Structure 1
């Protein structure tokens, strides 16, 4: 439980560096440029981190949750993803999973970054905050959006075993619809994911 409390403090420190940021036309948002090195000296706490598929602890642990959220926000806006790294390991089963597999973004200071580019002629402001129970977000713009975005999973596949391990793959597509009529205007491939599963994907006989 203490790791969870520490993660909240880490999120609070990182959010303070990002909340309210306005991404101007032709500007690039960099997660680590804004958050900086999550060191003990800067107040960051030991939190849960994933190292080669294994759960460990490190200062700033839990910041991937913030990167996941910003990536998901971007996919539901006209902003473009310039740099995003997928998770190489699928560590947790789908119980209570609300988003498609592979819809997150991993970060590790300072070489695995999340970068968002504004290729539009409009300003976009990132708003982030914590409540007692949730990490919340909003994107504001100086131009009303005429589009609605939906992320869908296709071609999901679990293969193996090879040396006792299974691989999980899928593709994520983004549907762009007219906000007022719901007419589908475009569908584009966002990313292809491939991760080594760190749990058994199949139930044992009799379970």
Structure 2
């Protein structure tokens, strides 16, 4: 059975948002200091020998009503964040925390204003655009034995699909520091994150000390668009993955996550609209 459909959004006051953000950030700081999770922090300069998974995404995209300066500033922000993650090596039993490693984006660290999604729209914000990096890391992680222990879906589907190559909802939204991306190494081998920028593409790969034993195929089920009584449209799907051994035999078909997002554009557009 599906979870409860999305309710009509409630516009929170500025003070409600500020107090809520402070509360949830405080809980994270407490957990980082006193919690039991063993976080990864080791970074290795020399790449590990075996590539396990890789992917790349274009850094500059023309989005409806979005000025390109936000896209160019995003590249600046990505470069700074990547430096904090480059070569990160998750040892067996350790967990990677996206925000614990990157820290709070601010001007003092060199971050500039980029696009930040907000209540179904967007606005300029310092450090904007870092969701592209968390999306990339999440996607390549789904093609490894690593376990995603925390991931958050987007609540709004802001822009229509344009040359989409991955299923809807296959990314991971992030907001410092309470919407985190966490990945645990439950294997017996270290896993190393390698990031880069090449020919206008943001690149990422997981590497390890031994070759991959499995191949992964990510796909969606039950993709649909439905209208609620209050007029809004909801987009829904479930992400699954098939696991194959080196002989190409299917050994597992796993549920990964479900997504539901309020659409902020008109659905069912005619071709070419």
TM-score range relative to shorter protein:
over 0.9
* Residue ranges of structure 2 left out of the alignment (5+ in a row): 1-67
**Matched residues, number:** 204
Report whether the alignment pairs 1:178 with 2:242.
Answer: no
In 2: Cα distance, 1:163 partner to 1:202 partner = 18
Find the aligned partners of 1:105 and 1:121 in 2 and give their Cα distance. 26
Gaps of 5+ in 1: none
TM norm structure 2: 0.73
Alignment correspondent of 1:198: 264
* Cα deviations by residue, 1:141-177 (Å, 9 ceiling, x for unpaired): 1121110001010011111143221001100001100
1:102 to 169, 172, 177: 169
| 1:138 matched residue in structure 2 | 205
Greater strand proportion: 1
Deviations 1:48-80 (A, max 9, x none): 010111111101100000000000011000100
Name the residue aligned to 1:31: 98
CA RMSD in angstroms, aligned pairs only: 1.1
Deviation above 4 Å: which 4+ runs of structure 1?
none
TM-score normalised by L of structure 1: 0.95
Structure 1 residue 203 displacement after superposition: 2.7
| Structure 2 residue matching 1:162: 3-state secondary structure | coil
Alignment of 1:19 with 2:105, yes or no, is no
2:208 paired with 1:129: no
Within 2, Cα distance between the matches of 1:162 and 1:41? 47
Higher Cα radius of gyration? 2
Distance in 1 (CA, whole Å) between partners of 2:263 and 2:128 is 21
Query: Counterpart of 2:15?
Result: none
| Alignment partner of 2:117 out of 29, 39, 50 | 50
Partner of residue 62, structure 2: none
- Distance in 2, matches of 1:203 and 1:34, equals 41
